[in-house]
Every structure is written in C-alpha cells, then in structure tokens.
Amino acid sequence: MAFVPFDDRDGWIWFDGDFVPWRDAKTHILTHGLHYGSSVFEGERMYGGEIFKLTPHTERLKRSANLLDFDIPYSVAEIDAACNATCAKMGLTDCYVRPVAYLGPEQTSVSALNNKPHLAIAVWDWPSYFDPAVKAQGIRLEWAKWRRPDPATAPTTAKAAGLYMICTMSKNAAEKRGFADALMLDWRGYVAEATGANVFFVRDGVIHTPRVDFILDGITRQTVLEIAAEKGVEVQVRDILPEELSTFSECFLTGTAVEVTPVREVGDYTFTPGALSLELMEHYGKLVRRQL
C-alpha cells in the first residue's frame, strides 16, 4: 500500500464544532501548542461501530488539559458525540480515533493566559499495529536511552504531546536497529513503560506490572487488569527493577494501538509468549469486538 501523508487525504475532520474538509483542517504556524507543547490528545479505536471505552478516554482528555492549565470548551458528552459523528461522517465502523486539544496563536510566548483552546477530531483506517503473525510470536524491544521524567518536573499522568518527544526519539532509535519498540525506565531506574504502551510480566502464573503513579494509566491496561481479576489471576502492581526481567517467563504490552501484544525480547532478556499472554490477547480481542 502506498504511503499517503496525513495532510493530503480525502474526508472530513471535526474542528471546533464543525466539519471541515480534511485538507483544510489547519492552524497557524504560531500556534502555542506547536511552540510550547500546550497540547493533549487521545488514541481510541472503534470496533464494529462502537468506540471502545469512549467516555473514559474523553474524561482523561479533559483531565489532561486541566493538568496543562487549560479547559476544553466542550462537555464529555459533547466530545463523545463528536467522536461518533466523525466516524459516521467518514463512513467508518472500524478505525482509529484521534481527538486533540491545544492552545491557539493568540499569544506566542511562554505565557498563555490569552490563548484560546481548540479541539479537533480525526479518524482513519488503521489495522493491527503489528502484523498478526509477528504479534503472536512476540516483538523485540531494546532499552530506551531516555527515562520517564520525575512528576515534580512534568505533568506525567497527562496524555500530553510534549511528554512524547522522548518516546519518539526512543522508538526511532529502536526501529533503526531492527527492534519494534523500546522499554523505558523511570527517573529512579525502575521499569516504566514502552514508548506508547504499558508493560506486564508473568512469573509462575502471577502478573507483575509497574505502578502508574508517575506514568499514564492506560485504559487498555485498566481493561487487562479487569480481565485478569475476572479470571482469578493474581496481579502485583509494584516497582520492578530491570534486572528482575531475568526471573519472568512472559512479557506483553498493552495500549489502544498495540492492544495486547506479547514480547519475546527486551535487550538481553528473552521471553516465550505463553498461555497467559496469548489468552489475554485473545480475550481482549473478543471483548472489544463484543464477541463475549
């Protein structure tokens, strides 16, 4: 399939309350969000005509904006309705959904007291993040050079655009070396997350996953924890040192884009996609498609 740039596509984007032609959904070059990172977003998926956990995503979008000290001028219900309307306008029932809110160009300085918040919603076809055959075998990760920041230095629980720059740098570096992604530590040296997904490990039938006090609490992560509870699987949410990876038999990532994806390698540590990882991957796939 030929690559099509995201600014040169057919369709419609919901932009500040109206639908505008895809190619006309533009903002000024001096927009505050571009220069100072005053931008938050969500990543959602529609399966079979229903956006999975839409309202929790929208609620997090509003919280993220508040953490960055601005308010999105639409209610949760209005944003939910706009997301669904955009999918319908595009004629899509299985797609990726991207709401993004940011501060405009009224004032281009560190101060943003006079800047108007904007909200746009775009949707597009996006199949599995990883090839299904590769996914079942497990993907390969390297260790990221960059670490997730101390919450005293950044609003680390917000899904804020600026927090993803080190994720982009880490993922680019990993892909250049033939890896699918990179695993990041937090500023203390504990395992944190991949560049856009939470991480889980398995040892003797028990799931271990990092605390999310200082990183994004993924909605897919929350869903997997719910599934594990339903299945009676013990979960330990705790700080995990990188050297502990030698004691785990399975590893997998969770996120809206990656869904549930087994991992077979993190640096020098290797894992075998086992029964629990594959069961959770299958269960999640059925759940989002309302097959359960």
Residues marked active site are found at 159
Amino acid at 250: E
Q: How far is CA 164 from CA 58, 119, 135, 142, in A?
A: 19, 19, 24, 17
Q: Are 37 and 110 in contact (CB under 8 A)?
A: no
Pairing between β-strand 259-266 and β-strand 139-143 as defined by DSSP bridges: parallel
Neighbours of 234 (CB within 10 A): 11
Contacts of residue 11, defined as CB under 8 A and 6 or more positions apart, other chains included, come to 21, 22, 89, 90, 124
Neighbours of 91 (CB within 10 A): 10
Nearest to 86 by CA among 72, 73, 100: 100
Helix 76-90 crosses helix 54-67 at what angle (to 10 degrees)?
120
- Name the E strands within the chain: 12-15, 18-21, 39-41, 44-47, 50-51, 95-103, 117-124, 139-143, 181-185, 191-194, 198-203, 206-209, 235-237, 250-255, 259-266, 269-270
What letter would DSSP give residue 109?
A: S
